[in-house]
């Protein structure tokens, strides 16, 4: 009986004869995931190894809905009202753009809700007031005036 060896099989056999497969990491250990009931175990392990966030694979509308759910708490670190308004206007624009995408299939599309910018700004103001303790206004003492006086003289010159 004649045995026909393909080019690939020949390369593997020659590499085995040279010992290139000896002492590889994991040699003699069972393969991972064979007893795992989750069929996507390998994908989850690869994403963790590569530092990828599984939420990056979500459809855009789901990412928008997730972002909407974080308001107004995620806006607490924004310092100005105009900054908050800009973020919310950008969010609403992205929602409208997502709604303009063509629908594929017979199922009704999933939409992300827009936000009422003025209402969200009011919630942001309340949240900022709760998170920032009341600070006393800076006391202007004669010592402070004397230390800042040289700046005034410098700018007047």
Write the DSSP symbol of residue 55: G
Determine, yes or no, domain membership for 113. yes
**152 in a domain, yes or no?**
no
pTM of the model: 0.57
Q: Are 81 and 121 in contact (CB under 8 A)?
A: yes
User: Is 156 inside any structural domain?
Assistant: no
Confidence (pLDDT) at 123: 93
Query: What is the tally of structural domains in the chain?
Result: 1
Nearest to 95 by CA among 71, 114, 76: 114
Residue 85 makes CB contacts below 8 A (sequence gap 6+) with 117, 121
Whether residue 43 lies inside any domain: the answer is no
- pLDDT of the residue at 94: 94
In this predicted structure, which of 23-32, 55-64, 68-77, 128-137 has the lowest mean pLDDT?
128-137
Percentage of the residues of the chain whose pLDDT score is greater than 70: 82
| Structural domain containing residue 122 | 57-130
Q: Is 120 within the bounds of a domain?
A: yes
């Amino acid at each position: 009986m004649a045995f026909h060896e393909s080019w690939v099989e020949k390369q593997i056999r020659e590499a085995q004869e040279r010992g290139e497969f000896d002492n590889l990491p994991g040699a003699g250990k069972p393969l991972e995931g064979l007893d795992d009931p989750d069929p996507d175990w390998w994908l989850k392990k690869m994403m963790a190894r590569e530092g990828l966030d599984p939420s990056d694979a979500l459809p855009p509308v789901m990412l928008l809905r997730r972002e909407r759910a974080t308001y107004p708490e995620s806006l607490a670190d924004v310092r100005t009202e105009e900054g908050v308004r800009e973020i919310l206007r950008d969010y609403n624009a992205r929602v409208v753009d997502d709604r303009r995408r063509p629908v594929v299939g017979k199922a009704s599309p999933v939409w992300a809700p827009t936000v009422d910018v003025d209402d969200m700004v009011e919630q942001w103001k309340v949240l900022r007031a709760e998170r920032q303790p009341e600070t006393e206004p800076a006391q202007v003492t004669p010592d402070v005036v004397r230390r800042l006086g040289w700046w005034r003289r410098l700018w007047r010159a």
